[in-house]
Amino acid sequence: MRILGIDPGYGITGFGVVEANRGNCRLVRCGAITTPAGMDFSARLEIIYEDMRQLLEVAKPDCVAIEELFFGQNVTTGIGVAQSRGVILLAIRQAGLEVFSYKPMQVKQAVVGYGNATKHQVQDMTRRILQLDAMPKPDDAADAIAIALCHARSSTSLLARLREQ
């Protein structure tokens, strides 16, 4: 199963494509969609949408895993990220792909085994699981890879298989 993981944002949207097969995972590609600061916000959303459509065509994922939004202290930033996430979800929907959303705590639990793990712990376990020499940059791409791994582990669990029956 080829999983596209997405860490949504409007300045940087990270992505990671992971191939999962019977508990073994391998990184296919990763990177980021970026938009220039100071550009009209609607133009930034258009770039994200168009780049996401191209990524979906090139990566050919079987499904997409995306991080759910967490509104912390800065609600204004959260609103922008929510709008970015909206155009990403639209591109996924138009591509006819199934999308799965995961909370940050779920990603940490699936990758590290501890829902309150630090960002460094998640990145280190991601690197170990995929047997990488170093964690890919930027951090947004690394986060997206962890989201893809979360789905790989969640979708192959006994509970997930029981739900399908």
Among this protein's residues, is 62 annotated catalytic? no
Catalytic residue among 51, 57, 62, 67: 67
Helix ranges (H only) for 22-156 are 41-59, 75-94, 104-112, 119-129, 139-155
Among this protein's residues, is 124 annotated catalytic? no
Given a contact cutoff of 8 angstroms between Cβ atoms, the answer to whether 45 and 80 are in contact is no
Among this protein's residues, is 143 annotated catalytic? no
Given a contact cutoff of 8 angstroms between Cβ atoms, the answer to whether 149 and 5 are in contact is yes
Catalytic residue among 98, 139, 140, 143: 140
Catalogue the active-site residues.
7, 67, 140
